[in-house]
Each structure stands twice: as structure tokens, then as C-alpha cells.
Amino acid sequence: EDKVVQSPLSLVVHEGDTVTLNCSYEVTNFRSLLWYKQEKKAPTFLFMLTSSGIEKKSGRLSSILDKKELFSILNITATQTGDSAVYLCAVEMIQGAQKLVFGQGTRLTINP
């Protein structure tokens, strides 16, 4: 069965800290791995990763994929209270459609 596991499930840090969120997967027919940020409603797209070892960066956020070890990390540096959210990792399959298999999410809380 296709599976995506995120860790930790919950994380509380102080503003200014750096955090690393983990995502491991066991799926058949991998196409890509995506990270989303979900605050109240819509998951907001952050990154799409298809190749191993190539870091994607957007401001204080960065992510990298390891297709050999089947995991990805999302780093957030100099965290701010606005980074508080649930971060979702999803794997896209090659099965004739863009089915996404999601992990449970990591709830990140940034305290001032």
C-alpha cells in the first residue's frame, strides 16, 4: 500500500529558530513530491520536487529530495509567527492521473 509518513507530527519552537520537517514515502510509480502549507483552509503550494539532490528555495524555505532513500526535508530558517501552520507532504503517482497521496501533516507552532 502506498504510504507517506511525516515527522514530527507536532513541533513548537520560538521565533527565530530553524526547523526541519521530514517526509518519507513508500509508493509505486513515483512521479514527484510536493509540499503544501495549510493554515485555515486551502493548502498552499510550496515546492514540487522531481529530481534527487537539487535544492529548491523560496525565501526562508527550502526543500530537497532523496529518491534513493525515499525521503524529503523542508527547512524553514529564521521562523516567524506567520509560519505557524500544518505542513503537508504529498507524493504524486504515475498512474494515468495526478493522484496525490498525502502524509498526516506536521503542525508547526511558532511562539513569539
Partner 1 sequence: DAGVTQSPTHLIKTRGQQVTLRCSPKSGHDTVSWYQQALGQGPQFIFQYYEEEERQRGNFPDRFSGHQFPNYSSELNVNALLLGDSALYLCASSGGLGQPQHFGDGTRLSIL
Give the footprint of partner 1 on this chain (CB under 8 A): 4, 31-32, 34, 36, 41-45, 48, 88, 90, 95-105
What count of other Cβ atoms lies within 10 Å of the Cβ of residue 111? 11
Residue 4 CB, shortest distance to partner 1, in Å, is: 8
Residue 109 CB, shortest distance to partner 1, in Å, is: 15
From the list 5, 17, 7, 2, the residue with the least C-alpha distance to 84 is 17
97 by Cβ neighbours in 10 Å (0-12 / 13-18 / 19+) ranks as: exposed
Decide if 46 contacts 35 (C-beta within 8 A): yes
Residue 20 CB, shortest distance to partner 1, in Å, is: 19
Residue 78 or 94 with smaller CB distance to partner 1:
94
Residue 15 or 56 with smaller CB distance to partner 1:
56
Q: Helix (H, G, I), strand (E, B), or coil: what is residue 68?
A: coil
Residue 96 or 112 with smaller CB distance to partner 1:
96
